[in-house]
Structure 1
Amino acid sequence: MLDAIWNAQMVKIRNDIPAPIGERKRRSPNLPWSSLEVGESFFVRNRNTAAAGCLQHGAKLDRKFTYEARSETDDEGKPVNGYRIWRVE
């Protein structure tokens, strides 16, 4: 065991916990990255989904996406904070 400081936080590095064996679980594609046409968009609540998705899916699909923090309304008319993602190229 080794103690290290990472981002001003004490972290314990361990080598006595085995890594999982077998295929790791993958999420099924549930966002329309590949079917989006230029100018179309969709809304997500999670910033990590927006930021990482724009980079990963953009590179994978050879397309460009952008996102912006927004407040929109849900189906019941209640305000929802999140991120709108657009395909721009």
Structure 2
Amino acid sequence: MGLQEEFDAAAKEATDTLPDSVTNDERLELYGLFKQAKEGDCNTSCPGILDPKGRAKWNAWNGKKGMAKDEAMKKYIEYVAGLKAKHGSKK
């Protein structure tokens, strides 16, 4: 299985099987790695102070600036595996 296929499988697992016990910080890390892997460096302006959720997501993605897409994919795959080991899967 190639890197793209592994990444796609990890993304599906993250969406379908990770339980609600995953913390917001862990979800933001997943989001940042996913966006970096799919789109590369953040290419949008930072949302305003009245959009705290959007701002947190933007900060998570922008914090990965400079990371290669392949590296972000690998880190995402590893992070999903770590979250599954820590939190288990939905029943």
Query: Is this a same-fold pair by TM over 0.5?
Result: no
Q: Which TM-score bucket, shorter chain as reference?
A: under 0.3
- Structure ID, larger Rg: 1
Structure of higher RCO (CA pairs closer than 8 Å, 6+ residues apart): 2
Give TM-score scaled by structure 2 length: 0.21
Task: Point out the structure with the larger strand share.
Answer: 1
Task: Point out the structure with the larger helix share.
Answer: 2
